[in-house]
Amino acid sequence: MIDRSPVIAPQPQVGSDHELTLTLPDGSERQVPAGTLPRDVVASIGAGLLRAAVAVQVDGEVQDLVTPLRRGGEFRVLTEKDAASLAVLRHSAAHMLATAVRRLRPRAKIGFGPAIEDGFYYDFEVEQPFTPEDLSAFEDEMRKVAQEKYSFVREEVNRADAERRFADDPLKLERLAELGDDEVISVYTDGPFVDLCRGPHVPDTSRVKHIKLMHTAAAYWRGDEHRQQLERIYGTAWFSKDELDAYLHRLEEAKRRDHRTLGKELDLFSVDQRVGPGLILWHPRGAIVRNEIETFERELILRHGYDLVYTPHITSEKLFEISGHLVNFRENMFGAMEVEGAAYRPKPMNCPGHICIYQAHQRSYRDLPLRFAEFGTVYRYERSGVLHGMLRVRGFTQDDAHVFCTPEQVDTEIERLLDLVDEMLRAFGYPYTVELSTRPDNALGAPEVWTDAEQTLARVLERRGQAYTIDAGGGAFYGPKLDFKLIDAIGRKWQGPTVQLDFNLPERFGLEYIGADNTPHRPVMLHRVLVGSMERFVGGLIEHYAGAFPLWLAPEQLRVIPITDEVRDAAAAVAARAKEAGLRVSLDDRAQTLNYRIAEAERLKTPYMAIVGKREAAAGTVALREHRLGREQKPHVMPVEELVRRLAEEVKTRALTASGTDQPAAGGD
């Protein structure tokens, strides 16, 4: 028999003997006894509000309507309109998934089922992995659970009671054993399913209507790869059908932008089994994009006082013994090759090489700061399961640089780096956020040095009015860092530039400079990358621009198309003129229909097409077609000189074509 009775308020276990003060959003105050259920408070405000309520927020903390109030403070009712409600909905959806799975697979053991960004998951221990058919059966069953409108009933129980209830669920017992004696043990029941859970939940299962189970995956219990793997089911849940549809559409959009698909369609790069997984072959069209970025960046950093250097791809592994990489990251390095009795390795980082250049001379404080930059190709062994297109590879080129300076110069150097980062990212149209990562537990060096460095970073950021968040304990063991996160055209975050202070390598290599006092001092070393890796950055750019690069980066900037053979020479002259102006231009005089040739140029997302017919040939003009204007557009007739001027200007200013406005071709490709 399914218990469908309404919620019975469990007796609160803690102090119901004192009054709590709740402050409502309108400023009014209410006194209620501790242990009162929020639903009673909400009901007293209004019946309509109770119907709309998803949960409440008390003193900043979200809790559901059936968890006894234990403290007072700001009291806000959360409805479907509040962003914080989504996590509650999704957590409840996870329970409903478990409810559905348990109905169809009574022997499935339950793990955890939290809300995550964009959805939820639930882990199960089962003998047979789930199939796609299982998934749709579970989804149907979840809808039934929603229709059956079970209340989420909260009970607070003692340990013995909880152990009895989850006697058949070893994973839950393990979790239970970890709960401290002072913690409230609560369980939530929706219909036939009961789960050890802190909450909060929506009032009943009928609130969870717009769901979709996305896929299954294996996941390690407690995220520990030495523990058993569980079957995880991912799903998403929203308050309205529109939101669900919009989310699914966002996924489609991301798929449409996938750099692996576009990389093939636009002939930018490939990988070849014979070369090896995670090793990128840059095709001519992709190489143009990369080269433009490198040229731009090289010009930029030279202007910012950097010196270009080159270091070998393969070095004696002694270098990595000194640097400590061999001890700490041996598993992630390519294996050693023996040459005349000495072991050599492909470099996993450029820093040791740059340090050796620093040490090639005795350095004076007058030489500092020294800024060595290199597009340095490094090789790291990444486990096969993590490789992903251009975004996660085994060989990549970092736009790496190391700044060697005196402690007094760190301030200004950081400041200069922030300018550099800003100039670089603006060129690609990326907004960004900044994160300051501080001292981790396994940190090297004196805490005072760390605190000092962290304060320097924070001070510079604050002086510039740059907003930032702090990732406490997120620094590398050898120094604190600034991480820049890029936000792409569809709102996704990407790892961007990083600036890192290093207390370790100067020590290990014994770096020195002679100070004004004529004694040796240890310089400070800064590592920094702007784009990180050319591979990852270009992969990200492909997705950011959906393959429609701004003109300065476009592999082919202009395609000239004569309508008939009669005007071929006129078209060739247009192409020659554009080429002379430094544009990347091609002439498509194939014996194909005009429509065919336009379709192909559009498929390649060629920014501009100059069509030349009899009228244009006679007048010295072209009919210009622009990729970004989409399918319906009137050709814009202009003199050849104006075309060239306009495009050259657009390249020179590195103008950003409206990224994200690139529409999918309605037919054809």
Question: Phi/psi of residue 404, each to 5°?
Answer: -110, 120
- Give catalytic status of residue 283 as yes or no: no
Pick one of 174, 452, 565, 580: the residue that binds RNA (CB under 7 A): 565
The smaller minimum CB distance to RNA, of residues 559 and 584, is found at 559
Give the three-state DSSP class for 598: helix
Pick one of 345, 371, 528, 627: the residue that binds RNA (CB under 7 A): 627
Task: Find the shortest distance in angstroms from Cβ 309 to RNA.
Answer: 20
Q: Are 501 and 480 in contact (CB under 8 A)?
A: yes
Span near RNA by CB under 7 A; candidates 5-13, 628-636, 638-646, 650-658: 628-636
Pick one of 633, 641, 652, 655: the residue that binds RNA (CB under 7 A): 633
Kindly list the strands in the beta sheet with 152-157, ordered across the sheet, starting from the edge strand earlier in the chain.
152-157, 185-190, 193-196
Rule CB under 7 A: is residue 594 a binding residue for RNA?
yes
Angstrom distance (rounded) from CA 353 to CA 359: 10
Q: Kindly name the residue from 90, 210, 290, 481 that is annotated as catalytic.
A: 481
Task: Find the shortest distance in angstroms from Cβ 649 to RNA.
Answer: 22
- Give catalytic status of residue 402 as yes or no: yes
Span near RNA by CB under 7 A; candidates 38-46, 84-92, 210-218, 462-470: 210-218
Under rule CB under 7 A, which residues in 215-244 are in contact with RNA? 215, 217-220, 223-225, 229, 231-232, 234
Give the CB-side neighbour count of residue 656, counting CA atoms within 13 A. 14
Give which of 452, 631, 535, 468 is closest to 259, Cα–Cα.
535
Rule CB under 7 A: is residue 506 a binding residue for RNA?
no
Q: Kindly name the residue from 527, 528, 544, 597 that is annotated as catalytic.
A: 527
Task: Find the shortest distance in angstroms from Cβ 51 to RNA.
Answer: 36
Task: Find the shortest distance in angstroms from Cβ 536 to RNA.
Answer: 9
- Give catalytic status of residue 398 as yes or no: yes
User: With contacts defined by CB under 7 A, how many residues of the chain interact with RNA?
Assistant: 74
The smaller minimum CB distance to RNA, of residues 516 and 619, is found at 619
x/- binding map, residues 470-489, to RNA, per CB under 7 A? ------x-x-----------
The smaller minimum CB distance to RNA, of residues 434 and 476, is found at 476
Rule CB under 7 A: is residue 285 a binding residue for RNA?
no
Question: Phi/psi of residue 35, each to 5°?
Answer: 95, -5
The smaller minimum CB distance to RNA, of residues 224 and 448, is found at 224
Angstrom distance (rounded) from CA 587 to CA 601: 11
Amino acid in the structure at residue 49? L
Give the three-state DSSP class for 268: coil
Question: Phi/psi of residue 73, each to 5°?
Answer: 130, -160
Pick one of 28, 158, 328, 469: the residue that binds RNA (CB under 7 A): 328
Q: Kindly name the residue from 169, 195, 399, 400 that is annotated as catalytic.
A: 400
**Angle of helix 410-428 versus helix 447-463 axis, rounded to 10:** 50
Pick one of 384, 442, 518, 519: the residue that binds RNA (CB under 7 A): 384
Q: Kindly name the residue from 63, 190, 351, 483 that is annotated as catalytic.
A: 351
Under rule CB under 7 A, which residues in 442-471 are in contact with RNA? none
Q: How far, in whole angstroms, is CA 318 from its chain's centroid?
A: 36
One DSSP character per residue, 31-52 reads EEETT--HHHHHHHH-HHHHHH
Pick one of 263, 278, 376, 395: the residue that binds RNA (CB under 7 A): 278
Task: Find the shortest distance in angstroms from Cβ 537 to RNA.
Answer: 14
Structure-block tokens of residue 516: 């004004």
Task: Find the shortest distance in angstroms from Cβ 332 to RNA.
Answer: 4
Q: Kindly name the residue from 57, 63, 398, 409 that is annotated as catalytic.
A: 398
Which residues have a Cβ under 8 Å from the Cβ of 46 and sit 6 or more positions away? none
Rule CB under 7 A: is residue 310 a binding residue for RNA?
no
Pick one of 353, 389, 506, 523: the residue that binds RNA (CB under 7 A): 389
Q: What is the dihedral of CA 301, 302, 306, 309, to 10 degrees?
A: 100
- Give catalytic status of residue 351 as yes or no: yes
Task: Kindly state the helix (H) or strand (E) to which residue 84 belongs, with its residue range.
Answer: helix 83-104
Angstrom distance (rounded) from CA 245 to CA 239: 11
Pick one of 93, 98, 271, 551: the residue that binds RNA (CB under 7 A): 271
Pick one of 285, 325, 402, 528: the residue that binds RNA (CB under 7 A): 325
Rule CB under 7 A: is residue 654 a binding residue for RNA?
no
Rule CB under 7 A: is residue 321 a binding residue for RNA?
no
Task: Find the shortest distance in angstroms from Cβ 592 to RNA.
Answer: 5
One DSSP character per residue, 223-252 reads G-TTS-EEEEEEEEEESSHHHHHHHHHHHH
Give which of 597, 601, 603, 593 is closest to 667, Cα–Cα.
603
Rule CB under 7 A: is residue 251 a binding residue for RNA?
no
Task: Find the shortest distance in angstroms from Cβ 211 to RNA.
Answer: 18
Pick one of 70, 256, 380, 508: the residue that binds RNA (CB under 7 A): 380
Rule CB under 7 A: is residue 490 a binding residue for RNA?
no
- Give catalytic status of residue 304 as yes or no: no
Pick one of 249, 614, 645, 652: the residue that binds RNA (CB under 7 A): 614
Which residues have a Cβ under 8 Å from the Cβ of 62 and sit 6 or more positions away? 55, 56, 78, 84, 87, 88, 200
Task: Find the shortest distance in angstroms from Cβ 579 to RNA.
Answer: 21
Give the three-state DSSP class for 573: helix
Angstrom distance (rounded) from CA 523 to CA 538: 34
Q: What's the distance, Cα to Cα, between the start and end of the chain in Å? A: 57
Rule CB under 7 A: is residue 385 a binding residue for RNA?
yes
Pick one of 13, 315, 406, 564: the residue that binds RNA (CB under 7 A): 564
Task: Kindly state the helix (H) or strand (E) to which residue 532 belongs, with its residue range.
Answer: strand 524-533
Q: Which residues are catalytic?
A: 351, 380, 398, 400, 402, 481, 527
